[in-house]
Amino acid sequence: MTTGNERLLSLLAESGDDEARLDLNILSEEFEGEALEEAVKRRAAGEPLAYILGYRHFYKECYKVCPGVLIPRADTEIAVETALAFLGLNSMATGDLLEVPLYGNDIKDICFADLCTGTGCIGISIANEIAGKGALAHAALVDISDTAISTAKDNVQSQAVKPEAIEVIKHDVLSGAPELKELDFIISNPPYITDSEMEELEPVVKDHEPDLALRAGSEGLDFYGPLLDTAMKLLKDGGALIVEHGYGQGDAVRKIFADGGLKNVMTIRDYGGNPRVTLGIR
C-alpha cells in the first residue's frame, strides 16, 4: 500500500470506523487521485458508503442511491423472498418461508404495489423474478418523497427487466389508498423506528438517512393501520399484505392485521433469526 493510501487509511481509522480498510479498498476501486481523497474525507465524516458510491447491491440487482433515500439493507431481502414464496416462485425457500401460504389464484399475470418504495428495490426485484419465470408483473411503486420518486424512476429504467410494466406514483400512504386497480399483493417496508429509538441510532444512519423513511411515532407502528386499510380496499380475495417491521414489533403487527380482518397472519424471521416480515391474507 502506498504512503498516500496509508494516510487515507489512517484518516478513516481515526474516525472510529471499524471497517476502515475494507471501505478504503472499495473506494479505491471507484475513485482515484483527488476524487479518492474527497471520498475518504466524506466517509471519515460519517457519510454512508452507499451515498458516496451512489449505489447499493440488493437481491440480484444494483440500485442507485443518493442522500434523501433510505439505503437498501440485506435484511429486507427476506421481504422479497416472502412475496415470491406466496406466489410459489421461491424454489430455494427455507425456514419460515416454507410456511407461507400459497396464493390460490393464477400467477401468470400479477398486479402488485410496493408502498413506501424508496429506491424501488423491493418492487423491482420482485417484478424481475416474476418476469424471469415467464409471467407478467404489473407493479406500482409508491412514495411521498420527491427524491425517492426520482430515484425509483431511474432504477426502473436501469434495473427492471420490463420497465414498461412498472409505474412510479407519488402518494402519501397515510392519507388513504392510492388509485390502483385490484392487486394480488401489497408489499411495504415502511418507516418503523420509534421516536426514542431514533435518538439511539448510529450517527451514520441518524445524521444522514432521511427521517421521513425511518421515524414512525412513539411505538413505531404509525404505518401499519393505514397499510391494512389500503390492503382491505385494494387486495383481491386471497391476496396478501406483506410488511417489514422491527424485530420487536411482530406481535403488535400481527394483532393489527388479525384485528383488521386478515387471515393466516404469520411472521417470518430473517436470516439472522430476527422476526422481520409479517403477512396476512385478505
Q: What is the average pLDDT across 58-70?
A: 97
Q: What is the average pLDDT across 219-234?
A: 97
What is the predicted pLDDT for the residue at 9? Answer: 72
Q: How many CB atoms lie within 10 A of CB 94?
A: 10
Q: What is the average pLDDT across 231-235?
A: 98
Lowest-confidence region among 5-19, 36-50, 219-233:
5-19
Q: What is the average pLDDT across 185-206?
A: 93
pLDDT reading at 253 higher than 70: yes
3-state class (DSSP) for residue 46:
coil
For the stretch 211-220, contacts whose Cβ atoms lie closer than 8 Å and that sit 24 or more positions apart, written own/partner, are: 212/144, 212/145, 213/69, 213/70, 213/116, 213/118, 213/145, 213/148, 214/70, 215/191, 216/190, 216/191, 216/192, 218/194, 219/194, 219/252, 220/191, 220/192, 220/193, 220/194, 220/245, 220/246, 220/249
Say which amino acid occupies 109: D
What is the predicted pLDDT for the residue at 23? Answer: 85
* pLDDT band, very low/low/confident/very high, at 105 (cuts 50, 70, 90): confident
What is the predicted pLDDT for the residue at 17? Answer: 58
pLDDT reading at 33 higher than 60: yes
Count the helices and strands in the chain (H runs, E runs).
Answer: 11, 9
What is the predicted pLDDT for the residue at 1? Answer: 42
What residue ranges in 79-135 does DSSP mark as E strands? 109-115
Of 22, 20, 24, 18, nearest to 4 by C-alpha is 24
Tell me the whole-structure pTM to 2 decimals. 0.93
3-state class (DSSP) for residue 244:
strand
CA distance 45 to 22: 16
* pLDDT band, very low/low/confident/very high, at 236 (cuts 50, 70, 90): very high
pLDDT in tens, 106-164: 899 999 999 999 999 999 999 999 999 999 999 999 999 999 999 999 999 999 999 99
- Do 113 and 178 form a contact (C-beta atoms < 8 A)? yes
Lowest-confidence region among 92-96, 123-127, 190-194, 234-238:
92-96
- Do 190 and 173 form a contact (C-beta atoms < 8 A)? yes
Mean pLDDT of the chain: 93
* pLDDT band, very low/low/confident/very high, at 104 (cuts 50, 70, 90): confident
> Look-up: residue for cell 407519488?
170
Q: What is the average pLDDT across 83-96?
A: 94
Q: What is the average pLDDT across 63-81?
A: 97
Say which amino acid occupies 256: I
CA distance 180 to 123: 15
What is the predicted pLDDT for the residue at 21? Answer: 72
Q: How many CB atoms lie within 10 A of CB 266?
A: 17
- Do 112 and 128 form a contact (C-beta atoms < 8 A)? no
> Look-up: residue for cell 476524487?
35
Of 232, 190, 13, 186, nearest to 86 by C-alpha is 186
